[in-house]
Amino acid sequence: MRCIDPIGRHPATVLSVIALTILGPATLVAHGQDRDAAGVPEIKRTTDAFLGHWTMTGTLREPNAREPVTLTSRMDCELTALGKAVTCHVVTDGTDGSRMELTSVVGFSPDEGIVRLMEISSSGSYHDHRGRWRGPKIVFEPLTYSVSGKKTMEHFSIGVPAPGKLTIESTEEGVGGKSTMELAGVRLPPR
C-alpha cells in the first residue's frame, strides 16, 4: 500500500513537511540562544544606545549656501530580532521647508566585531554602514556611493556622550562640494 496524502503529494514530501514542522522551531530556538544579547555586551551596548523616543536638533551646512539650515528630528527606535538589534524611524524637518524620512536597522555583529547600520531614506539613499565603537562613539568606515551617477563619500559617526544623549555627525564630499550635518539629541521619557 502506497501512502499518498489527500492532495496527491509524494510520501517523501509529506515526511519533509512533518520533519520541518517538528525540527524547524527547535533548530531556530537553539540557534537563537547561542548568541543571546545578554551574552555579548556589545549587542546590548548598541541597542541601549538607540532604544527609545528621541528629539534632536542641529544644522546642515551645504556648499554655496549662505546660511546653515536648522534641523529638527524625531527618532523612534524599537527592539527587533529578539533584542539583538533596533529598528529606527527618523523624520527630519529643515527650516528651509525640506523634509526627510529614513528607516534603519542597527545592530552589533559579534562575528565581524562591528556595528552595522543599514538605512533607506526618502532622499534615495540605500546605505550599509559598518563601524566600530571607539570609546563613547561609533565611527563608521567612509562610505562611497553615487547620486545621479556622481560619486560622493560620507564620513559618519554617532556618539553617546552620556546615557540618554546622542550626537550624529555626517560629512559628505562630492563633485558639488562638502556638506556637513550635526545633530544632538536627548531621549524622551517613555510614553
DSSP helix, strand, coil percent of the chain (3-state; round to 5): 20, 50, 25
- What the block records as the C-alpha cell of 36 is 543571546
Please give the average per-residue pLDDT across 15-26, as a whole number: 43
Q: What is the per-residue pLDDT for 166?
A: 97
* Buried residues in 47-75 as b, exposed as e (16+ CB within 10 A): bebbbbebebebebebeeeeebbebebeb
Note the Cα 32 to chain centre separation in Å. Answer: 20
Report d(CA 122, CA 93) in Å as an integer: 12
- In this predicted structure, which of 8-12, 34-38, 72-76, 147-151 has the lowest mean pLDDT? 8-12
pTM here?
0.80
Class of 37-187 per CATH? mainly beta
Q: Which of 149, 159, 151 is nearest to 184 (CA)?
A: 159
The answer to whether residues 45 and 29 touch, using CB atoms and an 8 Å cutoff, is no
Domain ranges of the chain: 1-34, 37-187
Query: pLDDT-based confidence at 38, cuts 50/70/90?
Result: low
Query: pLDDT-based confidence at 1, cuts 50/70/90?
Result: very low
pLDDT in tens, 79-138: 999 999 999 999 999 999 999 999 999 999 999 999 999 999 998 889 999 999 999 999
Please give the average per-residue pLDDT across 62-91, as a whole number: 96
| pLDDT greater at residue 40 or residue 49 | 49
